[in-house]
Amino acid sequence: MHPETTHPRRQFLQGTAALGLAALATGCASLRSSAKARVVVVGGGWGGLGAVRALAEGGQVQVTLVEPNESFMSCPLSAHFIAGWQPATDFQRSYANIDRLAGVRRVRERVLELDRAKAEVVTATQRIGYDFLVLSPGIEYMEEAIAGYAEARSQLPVGFRAFEQAAVKREVDAFLVNGGHFVISAPKPPYRCPPAPYERAFMIAEQMQKRGTKGKIIIVDANPAPTPPPIATPILNAMKSVYAAQIEYMPSVDIKAVDMGKRALLTSEGDIPFQHANLVLPMRANALVRQAGLGERWAAVQLPSFRSQADAKVYVIGDAQGSPLPKSGHVAFNAGKQVGEEILERVAGKVVAAPTGPVDLPLGICWANVTHDTAININVASSMEPGQAPKLKFSVDPQHNVRSGSGAMSWGNGMWKAMLG
């Protein structure tokens, strides 16, 4: 499937030159003067880069991207690296082309605080003022959900944030040599990329077959079936037809605690011993969302705009936002582009009118590899009517296939080029 790198046509932007930015908070009135509007983007992942690209194309604003990492590492498709099928460098890209964009500067620091009263982003060395703020800070793990996890964190990596995959790969490498029980857990949604735990299990199991590893991968799933529900049948069929000897599936099991002394999970169905594990914890938005009063577990946003419900100058995109849309890279990138275009509309003095009819929301495209060269394609088309919740329509391959396997990597390369050049 060829990547869709532009967001769906938005029907809700209607321009007028009359009102401009007067309705915004103090400090934005100067935007109609010769000074360019200041837009700060927090997070250089899929969503943040989508916003930066759209804003830079407009050439009307001064963009500051705050991102502590020196390079980009993709979470989508990284199971190929975790399971040892491809090197990490295949999923890494430089920010060099972003640094070359006119009107864009990158601050290589971590955001410590959002001061909405002063419209400033606070790092260890500076306070960066903004007229508009785009937050794409990602997720954090709810370590308190499993008793004993915090103490065992270094031995039980999650690997759902950039550059954490290497720690999971070390566990996988040891398992493939030593064998035993490798536990992979799947929490209840919402969380980042729900197909990922099953994909990781599949691609590790394929290495077991290749290397003759003695042991078992145990998927401990808090859900009654693989999630989201439209993928359950092809995922379960793949477990049975391809990996019956390597994978044991345990649905509807809640993990209560981890005992590293016994190397066991304490669950609703009894103790599960393991030698190696990749516990995928429940997730929530990055702590900045709560610190800034933008939401609790997730940021509260208005759809279709992704504006914060608490602050008209703030947009929240990517996996930190709390709408029903899939928490996927493709949705994040397209939402970022949409938000960037809306900000340019507002800077130009145009009013963003509320939608009066159906609106298409950012398209979701996802892939779940079953082997290193076959995958299940998952497309999610979302739309909404004014005053109603979004409607999601899934289109899922009935079974894994080579075409989707090659399409997944082509999609990834296309998206990374669109983001990073």
Q: Kindly state whether residues 316 and 257 are assigned to the same domain.
A: no
Burial class (CB in 10 A: 0-12, 13-18, 19+), 262: exposed
Q: Kindly state whether residues 169 and 276 are assigned to the same domain.
A: yes
Work out the mean pLDDT of the chain and round it to a whole number.
93
Whether 294 is covered by a domain: the verdict is yes
Q: Kindly state whether residues 263 and 181 are assigned to the same domain.
A: yes
**Domain extent at residue 261:** 142-283
- Give the closest residue to 299 by CA, choosing from 145, 144, 135: 135
Whether 366 is covered by a domain: the verdict is no
Which residue among 328, 354, 380 closes a domain? 354
Q: Kindly state whether residues 200 and 328 are assigned to the same domain.
A: no
Question: What is the DSSP code (8-state) at residue 63?
Answer: E
Band (pLDDT 50/70/90 cuts) for residue 268 is very high
Whether 74 is covered by a domain: the verdict is yes
Residue 64 near residue 44, CB atoms below 8 Å:
no
The percent of residues above 90 in pLDDT, for the chain, comes to 90
| DSSP track, 98-161 | HHTSTTEEEE-S---EEETTTTEEE-SS-EEE-SEEEE---EEE-GGGSBTHHHHGGGS----S
- Tell me the pLDDT tens digit for each residue of 45-104: 999 999 999 999 988 999 999 999 999 999 999 999 999 999 999 999 999 999 999 999
Q: Kindly state whether residues 201 and 279 are assigned to the same domain.
A: yes
Whether 163 is covered by a domain: the verdict is yes
Which residue among 329, 354, 379 closes a domain? 354
The percent of residues above 70 in pLDDT, for the chain, comes to 92
Q: Kindly state whether residues 278 and 146 are assigned to the same domain.
A: yes
Cα–chain-centroid distance for residue 246?
29
- Is the pLDDT at 333 greater than 90? The verdict is yes
Residue 64 near residue 107, CB atoms below 8 Å:
yes
Domain tally, the chain: 2
Bond before 190 cis per omega within 30 degrees: yes
Whether 9 is covered by a domain: the verdict is no
Instruction: Provide the pLDDT for residue 59.
Output: 87
- Tell me the pLDDT tens digit for each residue of 118-152: 999 999 999 999 999 999 999 999 999 999 999 99
Residue 302 near residue 309, CB atoms below 8 Å:
yes
Q: Kindly state whether residues 201 and 275 are assigned to the same domain.
A: yes
Q: Kindly state whether residues 276 and 313 are assigned to the same domain.
A: no
Q: Kindly state whether residues 229 and 151 are assigned to the same domain.
A: yes
Q: Kindly state whether residues 165 and 245 are assigned to the same domain.
A: yes
Residue 371 near residue 202, CB atoms below 8 Å:
yes
Residue 221 near residue 186, CB atoms below 8 Å:
yes
pTM for the whole thing?
Answer: 0.91
> What is the C-alpha separation between 342 and 14, in angstroms, rounded?
10
| DSSP track, 347-367 | HTT---PPPSS-EEPPPEEEE
Q: Kindly state whether residues 147 and 263 are assigned to the same domain.
A: yes
Whether 220 is covered by a domain: the verdict is yes
Whether 149 is covered by a domain: the verdict is yes
Which residue among 354, 378, 400 closes a domain? 354
Whether 399 is covered by a domain: the verdict is no
Instruction: Provide the pLDDT for residue 9.
Output: 39
- Is the pLDDT at 24 greater than 90? The verdict is no
CATH number where 85 lies: 3.50.50.60
